[in-house]
Structure 1
Amino acid sequence: MAAMQGRRQLLPAAAALLACLLLLPSAARGRNITAILDGYKEYKLYNKYLSETKVCDEINSRQSTSMTILVLSKDAMTTLAKDAGGSLAAIKNALRLHSVLDYYDRRKVKKYGDESAATLYQATGDAVSTTGNVKVVDQDDKNYGFSAATPGARICTVTKEVETHPFKFAILEVTAPIEFDGLFDTPSTANLTRLLERAGCKVFAALVASSGVLKTYEGAMDTGLTLFAPNDDAFQARDAPDVKNMSTADLVKLLEYHALPAYNPKTSLKAVKPGAPLRTLATTKAGKDHITVVAKGDDVSLDTGKSKSRVADTVVDSVPFCLLTVDSLLVPPELYVGAPEAAPAPSPAEAPQSSATQAADAPSLAADHADHADHKTNKKTSSAVASRPIGAFAAAAAVCSVALASLL
């Protein structure tokens, strides 16, 4: 009877907990633009370019920002790609311009009229003056549209409100791509050595040129390359290897370890799953010599397993090549010289049985703690609020708290 009564007492709390679980996913699943557009076949080509240029990662990283994404039908996107000369770097500029950093729908435009709005293109620093803005235009009758901020730019009318989540997120289809003179201009990557030198990485540039690794980098730039260039001070660090006395093979390994055979700008690195290994040019078939990413807010660091190096600045972001600077050398574990040698473990005869048992238990406890921490981190990451208002999420959290308290 006591057990039956206990179960009955738990029923209200269990029901509240179930309601909480049903409410939280929609409020906490996060905004994923490519996943949303997967449900619309007419935007398949647009979605493809969002992924290839990694603009999707920039959009998804702004979970707390109100945004309006101006999408293009297959024909309009084909026109944009042709105008950009097929260059992914140029197409990326345009897709950033079509990512507006505010919420718009017909009701808002008709209420407030014409205005100017910032875009991702302006936010990245690639825009000159106000060219990175778009104009929101209230047209006749029920129509409204968007245009470039330059004088005389054509107005691209909104033909469909694909999705609207008031004051948080909207997807609108426009008749044609928004363009202006200079939008498709991209930085030259023809002289990698000069780019490195201008970024304050002269020592690294000299080593790359003298070792022959420059040809390896250049051969990968057209298909996908992310290069992490350490500044000159990094080679003077106490735990940095002596590159002057390294064998040619070790030097090549060190330099290849500073590059990923894929396009991963800083925003995309932030989206990498914690602990997931990233393949470098030095990675072996057995999986040795990879790196992992540690991201916290806007800070991104690269972890070799022995040390970490912060990603400092973006020098060039020109799909499919990205040049980033880092604060310290990325050293493959077998070449690392800064780690202190571990003290030899005591023999069974020297250590008491209880100490040996504790030593044996310690790794599993540490692993359990790490797994628990990873679980909490993933849980926090998955709870970024997307289109639901913050008040709804707070209410859901309150219900969860009450339900869990009742169960406990």
Structure 2
Amino acid sequence: MGAMRRLLVFVAVCLAVSDAHNITDILDGFPEYSLFNSYLSQTRLADEINTRETITILALNNGEMSALAAKHPLPVIKKALSLHILLDYFDAGKLHQISDGSTTSTTLFQTTGNAPGNIGSVNITDLKGGKVGFGSAIPGSPLDSTYTKEVKKIPYNISVIEISQPIIAPGVLTAPAPSASDVNITGALEKAGCKTFVSLIVKTGVLKVYQTAAEKGLTLFAPSDEAFKAADVPDLSKLTNAELVSLLQYHAVASYSPKGTLKTTTDPISTLATNGAGKFDLKVSTAGDDVTLKTGVDSSRVASTVVDSTPLCIFTVDNVLLPAELFGKSPSPAPAPEPVTSPAPAPEASAPSPADAPASIDSPPAPPTESPEKSPAGAPTSHSENTTSESEKSPASPAALLNAILTVSGSVIISIFLS
């Protein structure tokens, strides 16, 4: 049963991999969108696109993308491009068959939580005569952008279509996004319910480390106040100042990694605490839209996004992240059994099951324990010997039968999947 389950999981993974898409690789084949492709990578929107099963990209050619990028900083460009990522599938055929001639589609910008009302939605209208218009879903917004051509599609997974010019939603380009240096890290954390964490990073001076790193790229995982009250959190007052600093630096990564990037992360990621003496890394696992960080001692769900402003990203996490380098030794009584597995003591510790009674070692029942091994050589004269041999044979037969059935069924299943 276990082998069959592993086979089914393997097949499911293979199918998932075959359905996966990579927007960077797709656009690499079209040099006229190289600048658009570059900004998708710089803003990490490419990672978010690759985690979506159904999506449409409204691509801008190099001329239109250059005009947009020349006037605005990277955080604003990210907001604008998020409006060009539709969370639905539209190819050329579907665009010209819109029911009632008009529809509204949610974009990636709407999912950020920074899009009030329906400012993060796009209006798509069939203008007849082969033209399809795109514009903000805000009432009264013009349909300035039109469908140009179909670039690439993998029905009904991903579609890339070119539009004539950027879609502009009210306030998206006029309100400049704050830079990393403008963000009040402590203020944002306190507002998010992480006051305990704030007091620790201020007291230890780690806040300055965060602020310096934020200029080039920083992702912060801040435990909530409730996380510090959990029963399994060690007494942090017993840590040395250096250990406490390492613990706090362990909650940060020296790169801009929004949730979409974390979802696509497969290798362990280094933290600010990583040094030559210890890995201090984090492993990431994803289930649906949930992202979990694993330390080797405990794990925590990435709960909410506090700040996502390139190159700074701040998340709250449900639990305090405990690195194995600091806390991995105490909860591990496992090394104790290792000396017991030495050649001499192990048989003595496991062989005499009635070891609680010392007399039983010298008592007459000791010889019969050898008799089953010698019974095949002699005739089964005693009733106890017969019952012993039968008890040994009876469970073996069903086990062998079950093993044979599983082997045959496994072979059939494997044949079916391979065919």
TM-score by length of 2: 0.73
User: Residue in 1 aligned with 2:49?
Assistant: 59
Displacement after TM superposition at 1:115 (Å):
2.1
After the TM superposition, which residues 212-251 of structure 1 pair with which residues of structure 2 at under 5 Å, given as runs? 212-251=205-244
Distance 2:239 2:155 in 1: 60
Distance 2:92 2:416 in 1: 45
- Contact residue 187 and residue 316 of structure 1 kept, 8 A: no
**Aligned amino acid, residue 70 of structure 2:** K
Counterpart check, 1:339 vs 2:331: yes
User: Residue in 2 aligned with 1:278?
Assistant: 269
Displacement after TM superposition at 1:138 (Å):
2.2
Displacement after TM superposition at 1:31 (Å):
1.6
User: Residue in 1 aligned with 2:252?
Assistant: 259
Residues 42 and 204 of structure 1: CA distance in aligned 2, closer, same or farther (over 3 Å) = same
Counterpart check, 1:75 vs 2:63: yes
User: Residue in 2 aligned with 1:349?
Assistant: 344
Displacement after TM superposition at 1:245 (Å):
3.5
Displacement after TM superposition at 1:252 (Å):
0.8
After the TM superposition, which residues 5-404 of structure 1 pair with which residues of structure 2 at under 5 Å, given as runs? 28-63=18-53, 65=54, 67-83=55-71, 85-86=72-73, 88-112=74-98, 113-150=101-138, 151-184=140-173, 185=175, 186=177, 190-273=183-266, 276-285=267-276, 288-336=279-327, 339-342=331-334, 343-344=336-337, 345-346=339-340, 347-352=342-347, 404=415
**Aligned amino acid, residue 99 of structure 1:** I
Residues 338 and 299 of structure 1: CA distance in aligned 2, closer, same or farther (over 3 Å) = farther
Residues 106 and 309 of structure 1: CA distance in aligned 2, closer, same or farther (over 3 Å) = closer
Distance 2:418 2:185 in 1: 62
Displacement after TM superposition at 1:259 (Å):
0.3
3-state DSSP class of the match of 1:291? Answer: strand
**Aligned amino acid, residue 350 of structure 1:** P
Distance 2:16 2:324 in 1: 43
Distance 2:171 2:323 in 1: 42
Displacement after TM superposition at 1:29 (Å):
4.0
Distance 1:179 1:39 in 2: 27
Distance 1:407 1:78 in 2: 49
Distance 1:174 1:122 in 2: 20
* Structure having greater relative contact order (Cα 8 Å, sep ≥ 6): 1
Distance 2:163 2:90 in 1: 13
**Unaligned 5+ runs, structure 1:** 1-20, 357-400
**Aligned amino acid, residue 111 of structure 1:** Q
Give 1 or 2 for the bigger CA radius of gyration: 2
Residues 301 and 106 of structure 1: CA distance in aligned 2, closer, same or farther (over 3 Å) = closer
Task: State the aligned residue count.
Answer: 337
3-state DSSP class of the match of 2:95? Answer: helix
**Aligned amino acid, residue 122 of structure 2:** V
Distance 1:26 1:256 in 2: 35
3-state DSSP class of the match of 1:223? Answer: coil
3-state DSSP class of the match of 2:306? Answer: strand
Displacement after TM superposition at 1:205 (Å):
0.2
Percent identity over the alignment is: 46
TM-score by length of 1: 0.75
Q: Give the root-mean-square deviation of aligned CA atoms.
A: 2.8
- Contact residue 224 and residue 319 of structure 2 kept, 8 A: yes
Displacement after TM superposition at 1:82 (Å):
2.8
Displacement after TM superposition at 1:168 (Å):
4.2
3-state DSSP class of the match of 2:281? Answer: coil
